[in-house]
Amino acid sequence: MGAAVAGWTVAAVLLQVAGLSLFLYGFFPVKPTLRGFSGPESYRMPSCGPVSAGEQEPALPPDQLRSLYRELAEMPPVYDRLVLMVIDGLPAEFVLGKGGKPPSKELMESMPYTQSLLAGCQAAGYHAKAAPPTVTMPRLKAMVSGAIGGFLDVAFNFNTQAFLEDNLLDQLHMIGHKLVMLGDDTWIKLFPTLFARQDGVSSFYVRDTVEVDFNVSRHLEFELAAKDWSVLVLHYLGLDHVGHIGGRRSVLMTQKMKEMDDVIRKVHSASLQDNLERTLLVVVSDHGMTEGGNHGGSSYEETDSLALFIGHSVERPHCSPYDQNEALQVDLAPTLALLFGIPIPKNNIGVLLPEVFNSLTDNQKLRTLELNSWQILRLLQAQMPAFCLEDCINWEGGLGIVVHPESTEKKFCHLLSKAFVSHQSSRLHQGSNFMSAEAQYVGTSVENYYGFLRYASEWLSHRATDKPFYLLISAILLMIMSCLFLMGAVSRLFKGQSLSQTDLLTESYLDQRWHLDEVFILTGILLYVISLGSSSFVEEEQYTWNFLTSTLYLIFLIKTVQAMLKGSNSVLVHRAEEKRFDGNNFSYASSYELTPGKRDGYKLCTILIVLVAGRVIRAWHQGGINWVHFPDISKLLAQADSSIVKSLQTVSVLAVVALYSVSLMLLRARSKVVIGVWLSHIYCGLLVLLHIWENQINTSLPINHSTTSIARLFYGTASVSISATILASPWIFPAYYTETKPASSSDSNPVKDIDSHGISDSVFLTGMTYTVFWCLLQLLLQQPINAIPLLLIFLQTVSSIAHFSLDKTLHKQWVQVIAMQFLGMAGHFGLGNTNSLASIDVAGAFIGISSYSTVLSGVLMFIITYGSPLMLYLGMVVYISMKDISTPQQLWSYVLDKMITMPCLLPLLINSVALTSYTIVLLLMRNHLFVWSVFSPKYLYVCAATVCTYVGVFLIATTAVYTCAVLTFRARGTGMSPIDRIMVY
């Protein structure tokens, strides 16, 4: 039966991987784009034929191309030089305020020069909304191309490839502009051959808040004095890194903003001193940040990016600097293209910003709107090939459509015809003696153009790409088959599980009827699956797991109390326990004599520890997405003195070290290996303590090299200790050979049996080493504020294992396994994780790393995010060491049945049910308004949780199989002498 179940499980996993891969390939395709670069055709009205992507006009030298563009545009470029200053992660409200109110006094004083430009009407600022995912690479693409990329750009952000679509920088380069780039090396990866001079720094090493900006500013004096460049890109990363480390309210935030304000002053002053009125300074941010300093999601705080224009074309006599001027981040591309006399990129969906063109005449302003409309019209024709402008306009009768449109095509026709007809009318009244009438026609034309452009931009931004529906259905069918295979394996396990006499007695007691905890688990899983169809439940999933976990353990408490009141030492139970503790059976929780009263007290205490710890964890981080602003313990500690947080970290480390030392005392063997593991554990605990007290924010040093060395020492010591424990633990405990009667008269070798002590001791030592070293690793990597929650999750793990081993008559094994999995998920959200990409802790992924590495940082990020579920999986190794293996002649069968099958199959099944259900939900919600902001980020978490489940199950299975294989090998007597057996002590 074990081989059959293993085969079904492997087949199910392979089907699941295949189905998941197919679905990811089909659901997250790269968005279709128009190929090639815009050229002279951009200045002509689009024809009604199909959009041609392959016809390219003959290439012209840069000077001729620039002259041609100026002639076709019917207006000169407004500027000749561009300084694009990107302040990574700067929220617009830090500069422009919020809701019509200026920023706080502290923020205004941190940027005095910029605030003076805004107050003097010499700058125009916008709250430029960034589209999710709010990470750097896709946001830079949006700014230079005006296009919104696919959702999976969040993954490509860590492995940037050259950008081959139409964009501003390539267009400027084609007409002879010379480009210089200083800062984030993402620009160099996107445009590897474009810059005449460049100096890049890695954007991912967020522990550095000084050198990343100093490396840019040290070139500033030289570049501002140079006259050979036309475009200067400055990308400052320090403010974003400050946010990742300390959040919005970090003590370093105002200092960093003063530094950025000084750069703005230097650039603007250099332009004024050289009388370079035709230099435009654009200060932008790629995204905002949450209260905790992270980004990636779709909240207002994350999408609120800045677009600040400083130049002669934005100056005006009167202004309201803190009005809530809103725009889209993609609006930057058409605005800069028209200001510099180049074609608008082909895939742009942005709309030019009117306040930036104050120096143009009314006719020139209408011309810019006309060019923007023609470019958007070409993009619409690519989406709707039958759409034609000439069919929409009745040049003799005015508007081709005069009634309220019904279809999208008719709506576009209606808006376009209004815009172009009013523009034609303004041309006819040009130069008339009635200036008010001319202004009225111009105003109407501008209003009509913006009506069409905004509607078309919104429609294109929400345009869902056509999914290969049958491919997605095939992927879901594979996942359903995988889920059914796992259900079949679990059903086969329940029906055909071979049980010892003790198990038969215990199971007969438990199988008399369905118990409340069993009914609740099945109902809870069903309710969880149903909740996945609601965006609100997805955003606040932590409440679901808190309810399921706390209610389940409350039921455990009720059952424990009922057992105590009824007298759990009844004949049946007492007989079962006597049977279990006879002979070779061994349980660490019962290895010492316990009276029934003490046993009941311990059972009650372990449940209370889990419940109380769970309540504290729940109160540590309030809310997931919608109620994250509510007060909680973590916010109180963030405002408290840093010494309090460090003290809590110290207490957590010391408690983990002490618990591991106590657990080793339960082992009867005192071999050198056990002592060595204990000493290495003490050493690693000291390293974590040293890292905690050395990890002070030092504004004078960009990188704390001492903490990096400490973390590396921890990684090395922990890796060696864990590897040595895994490999050596089955060899250091005696196999307890028992010489018995030969199996047959022809068999000259006696049969050698293995007692359960060897397996239990070995697996227990390995499991505790896994769990404790993992806990120390989390205390090293996680945010300092999470030290106590980590300790509480560890206590919940140990208490659950102790409770289940104290009385095996209260709960079936599958209930115990699922209860521990519930704990892992509740702890996952208790550490501050959400289903938004913004809650991923980027800062911790660079502890112990001196330079950026995609693989190492990605692994550390995964370890931090799934610290709690993986801790419970590692704790499951300790849990299986408590299982009784009472028939040595059938060792492998019992190891499969008792130690591997249930703890591995059930997590795989529950994860398969969640993955399959949510995949179906995502397919049904593919046209939902929140598909990219809520449902898709959650699906990435579901995929990562699947990987987490595979890793946990693999560790459980390999540990048990390796231990059993080694002890079986030793039991077969391969010439080991009695001295060798003694030497293992």
Q: What is the DSSP string of 382-418?
A: HH-TT--HHHHEETTTEES--SPP-SHHHHHHHHHHH
pLDDT at residue 774, rounded to an integer: 95
Sign of CA dihedral 256, 635, 649, 714: negative
Residue 664 reports pLDDT greater than 80: yes
Cβ atoms < 10 Å from Cβ of 892:
12
The 10s digit of each residue's pLDDT in 519-530 is: 999 999 999 999
Answer with the one of 330, 359, 388 that is the final residue of a domain: 359
Residue 743 reports pLDDT greater than 80: no
Q: Is 236 helix (H, G, I), strand (E, B) or coil?
A: strand
Task: Show Cβ contacts of residue 647 under 8 Å, excluding neighbours closer than 6 positions.
Answer: none
In a domain, 240, yes or no: yes
Answer with the one of 344, 359, 374 that is the final residue of a domain: 359
Q: Whose structure tokens read 């049980």?
A: 499
Model confidence at 478, pLDDT cuts 50, 70, 90, reads very high
d(C-alpha 532, C-alpha 921), whole Å: 7
- The residue type found at 373 is S
* Residues forming beta bridges with residue 198, ordered by sequence position: 181
Which is it for strands 393-394 and 398-399: parallel, antiparallel or unpaired?
antiparallel
Joined together, the tokens standing for residue 947 give 């990987």
Residue 934 reports pLDDT greater than 90: no
pLDDT at residue 894, rounded to an integer: 63
In a domain, 354, yes or no: yes
Residues listed for the chain? 985
User: What is the mean pLDDT of the segment spanning 171-187?
Assistant: 92
The 10s digit of each residue's pLDDT in 749-782 is: 444 455 556 778 888 889 999 999 999 999 999 9
Model confidence at 739, pLDDT cuts 50, 70, 90, reads very low
Q: Whose structure tokens read 């293993």?
A: 6
Which of 893, 944, 904 lies closest to 817, judged by CA?
904
Cβ atoms < 10 Å from Cβ of 578:
10
Helix (H) or strand (E) holding 83: strand 81-87
Task: Show Cβ contacts of residue 542 under 8 Å, excluding neighbours closer than 6 positions.
Answer: 618, 623, 624, 826, 829, 830, 834
Output phi, psi for 981, to 5 deg.
-70, -35
Q: Which of 74-88, 335-349, 364-378, 831-845 has the lowest mean pLDDT?
A: 831-845
Q: Whose structure tokens read 């399921």?
A: 548
In a domain, 474, yes or no: no
DSSP class of residue 135? -
pLDDT at residue 942, rounded to an integer: 94
User: What is the mean pLDDT of the segment spanning 479-505?
Assistant: 71
Q: Which of 117-126, 625-634, 641-650 has the lowest mean pLDDT?
A: 625-634
pLDDT at residue 673, rounded to an integer: 76
Output phi, psi for 284, to 5 deg.
-130, 160
pLDDT at residue 893, rounded to an integer: 64
**CA 240 to centroid of chain Cα atoms:** 17
The 10s digit of each residue's pLDDT in 449-461 is: 888 899 888 888 7
User: What is the mean pLDDT of the segment spanning 548-557?
Assistant: 94
Q: Whose structure tokens read 């990597």?
A: 781
d(C-alpha 705, C-alpha 711), whole Å: 10
Model confidence at 200, pLDDT cuts 50, 70, 90, reads confident
Q: Which of 76-85, 194-203, 369-378 has the lowest mean pLDDT?
A: 194-203
d(C-alpha 777, C-alpha 842), whole Å: 16
Which of 377, 288, 378, 284 lies closest to 335, judged by CA?
284
pLDDT at residue 697, rounded to an integer: 44
- Of residues 983 and 335, more confidence is placed in 335
Decide: 272 and 245 in contact? Cβ < 8 Å: no
Which of 28, 51, 2, 262 lies closest to 133, judged by CA?
28
Q: Which of 360-369, 378-387, 506-515 has the lowest mean pLDDT?
A: 506-515
Which is it for strands 231-236 and 179-184: parallel, antiparallel or unpaired?
parallel
d(C-alpha 754, C-alpha 888), whole Å: 6
Cβ atoms < 10 Å from Cβ of 628:
22
Cβ atoms < 10 Å from Cβ of 794:
27
Count of structural domains, the chain = 2
d(C-alpha 310, C-alpha 155), whole Å: 34
Which of 235, 182, 242 lies closest to 206, judged by CA?
242
In a domain, 394, yes or no: no
Residue 18 reports pLDDT greater than 90: yes
Residue 283, domain CATH = 3.40.720.10
Note down the domain range covering 332.
76-359
d(C-alpha 611, C-alpha 605), whole Å: 10
pLDDT at residue 274, rounded to an integer: 64
d(C-alpha 212, C-alpha 201), whole Å: 6
Write out the E strands in 173-329. 179-184, 197-201, 231-236, 279-284, 304-310, 326-328
In a domain, 9, yes or no: no
d(C-alpha 288, C-alpha 130), whole Å: 9
User: What is the mean pLDDT of the segment spanning 791-820?
Assistant: 89
Decide: 788 and 588 in contact? Cβ < 8 Å: no
Joined together, the tokens standing for residue 103 give 């920023």
Sign of CA dihedral 927, 932, 933, 935: positive
Decide: 782 and 831 in contact? Cβ < 8 Å: yes
pLDDT at residue 579, rounded to an integer: 45
- The residue type found at 219 is H
Which of 242, 203, 217, 254 lies closest to 94, judged by CA?
254
Which is it for strands 231-236 and 81-87: parallel, antiparallel or unpaired?
parallel
Q: Whose structure tokens read 């799934």?
A: 866
Decide: 166 and 145 in contact? Cβ < 8 Å: yes
Cβ atoms < 10 Å from Cβ of 743:
11
Residue 402 reports pLDDT greater than 60: no
- Of residues 229 and 293, more confidence is placed in 229
d(C-alpha 329, C-alpha 302), whole Å: 13
Q: What is the dihedral of CA 172, 174, 179, 183, to 10 degrees?
A: 80
Q: Is 107 helix (H, G, I), strand (E, B) or coil?
A: helix
Model confidence at 394, pLDDT cuts 50, 70, 90, reads low
d(C-alpha 638, C-alpha 654), whole Å: 22
- Of residues 973 and 336, more confidence is placed in 336
Average pLDDT of the residues of the chain? 81
d(C-alpha 425, C-alpha 429), whole Å: 6
Q: Is 500 helix (H, G, I), strand (E, B) or coil?
A: coil
The pTM of this model reads 0.77
Q: Is 6 helix (H, G, I), strand (E, B) or coil?
A: helix
Decide: 773 and 722 in contact? Cβ < 8 Å: yes
User: What is the mean pLDDT of the segment spanning 780-789?
Assistant: 91
22-31: burial string, b at 16+ Cβ within 10 Å, e else: bbbebbbeee
DSSP class of residue 98? B
Q: Whose structure tokens read 């390995």?
A: 766
**pLDDT over 90 for what percent of the chain?**
37
Residue 844 reports pLDDT greater than 90: no
Task: Show Cβ contacts of residue 114 under 8 Å, excluding neighbours closer than 6 positions.
Answer: 95, 123, 261, 264, 283, 308
Which is it for strands 179-184 and 197-201: parallel, antiparallel or unpaired?
parallel
The 10s digit of each residue's pLDDT in 883-897 is: 765 544 555 666 666
Answer with the one of 318, 333, 359 that is the final residue of a domain: 359
Q: How far is CA 378 from CA 34, 300, 372, 418, 863, in A?
A: 10, 31, 10, 18, 47
User: What is the mean pLDDT of the segment spanning 376-405?
Assistant: 64
d(C-alpha 12, C-alpha 915), whole Å: 13
